Structure 1
Amino acid sequence: MTRQGAIAIEPMDGSAAVRAEDAFRLIYAEAFAGPPHHETEDGVAAAFRRFPAQAGERAFRAALARAEDGEPVGMAYGRPLPPDAVWWDELTAPVPDDMRREDGRRTFGLMELGVRGPWRGQGVARGLHTALLDGIGAERVLLNVHPANRAATAAYRAWGYRKVGEARAGGTAADLHDVMLLDLR
């Protein structure tokens, strides 16, 4: 567990994340409720119907930030992309075969990173990101970010991510997202 001011960040494996699912759900629901995400109760419920299966996948990792009183304030989670990852197939334009090559260890997929409103702008997201990626052994990290989420996009760019394409995660009705890649080598 690392401390960042009055915030404690706990790295977790999948089973620990499932035990803390209520905290992840609370953060997710609040962090993504407003624009540009407009997450609904049904959307949150759907995300957390998938959560136990995601957390049960090989090498799933999570990080949970809590205030001194134990209140959940931020979360991040992801996993390595498997060799048959569909993430690259969701891009609106193809990328070179070498970029999309996966072996189950090469790329860590950052699935979610969110901080509740009152704790934004205090370095919590950066602390979660650092804790989540500590020792992952991957060559790179891949994520999708809504382009209208300017604060997140700016943070990712400041942390070294670059845009490699655009995708409609979940199908053609979904909003277009920027696909960003961080080289860890």
Structure 2
Amino acid sequence: MSVTVRLLDGRQTAELEVQLRTVFAEAFAEPPYGEGPADVERAFRRFRSQVRPTGFRAVVAFDGETVVGMAYGYPLPVSTGWWDTVTEPVPEALRHEDGKRTFGLFELAVRPAWRRQGVATEMHHLLVDGIENQRVLLNSRPQATAAQAAYRAWGYRRVGEAIPWDGAVPHDVMILELTAGQ
């Protein structure tokens, strides 16, 4: 397998919705997620608005013409509701957003047959390389031990717990502080 990754804008990413649905469905069907068709629909209702903001960027992994992975997000606006889902008190200095401070990483997924080949690491590095934000923020299921290990290896630290949407299980809120040129 020869995987290549490409940095895409919102329009280019939206054009790949059908293939990205397949990535999501396969990546999150197995434990600890156990997500099904209704979860895919919920995620892709959000996806259609997520590809629109200024600063949106995605990295999509391809094996030939087959989409095998995705990572995407955008800078959090001043009015973000992300911090409102945190279940524990968070200092104002941590939760303050100015529209440029934090890049929200909304999805990072690799289809099972392409895991453990460095695809997620390559996508993550390309996604955050050159962004002008001070940090990257994401939510991750604590039971997703492989994802948690990758995030820690990339430098993320846990800063709280959140219930990101109604009916969701608790997620760890994780931050990666970026340095100039990272």
* TM-score, normalization by structure 2: 0.95
**Is 1:117–2:112 an aligned residue pair?**
yes
* Structure 1 residues without counterparts, runs of 5 or longer: none
- Counterpart mapping for 1:1-185 below 5 A: 6-67=2-63, 69-171=64-166, 173-185=167-179
For residues 67-99 of structure 1, the C-alpha deviation after alignment (integer angstroms, 9 at most, x for no partner) is 1x3111110011111001111111111111111
Output the CA distance in 2 between the equivalents of 1:24 and 1:77. 11
SS of structure 2 residue aligned to 1:11: strand
Runs of 4+ residues over 3 Å off in structure 1: none
* Structure 2 residues without counterparts, runs of 5 or longer: none
Output the CA distance in 1 between the equivalents of 2:99 and 2:137. 13
- Cα deviation for residue 22 of structure 1 reads 1.4
- Cα deviation for residue 44 of structure 1 reads 0.4
Output the CA distance in 1 between the equivalents of 2:40 and 2:79. 26
Output the CA distance in 2 between the equivalents of 1:53 and 1:183. 26
For residues 86-128 of structure 1, the C-alpha deviation after alignment (integer angstroms, 9 at most, x for no partner) is 1111111111111111011100000000001111111000011
Output the CA distance in 2 between the equivalents of 1:42 and 1:116. 19
Output the CA distance in 1 between the equivalents of 2:80 and 2:5. 29
- Cα deviation for residue 64 of structure 1 reads 0.5
Output the CA distance in 2 between the equivalents of 1:49 and 1:101. 27
Percent pairwise identity: 51
Output the CA distance in 2 between the equivalents of 1:116 and 1:152. 13
What is the CA RMSD across the aligned residues, in angstroms? Answer: 1.1
Amino acid corresponding to residue 81 of structure 1 in structure 2: L
Amino acid corresponding to residue 176 of structure 2 in structure 1: L
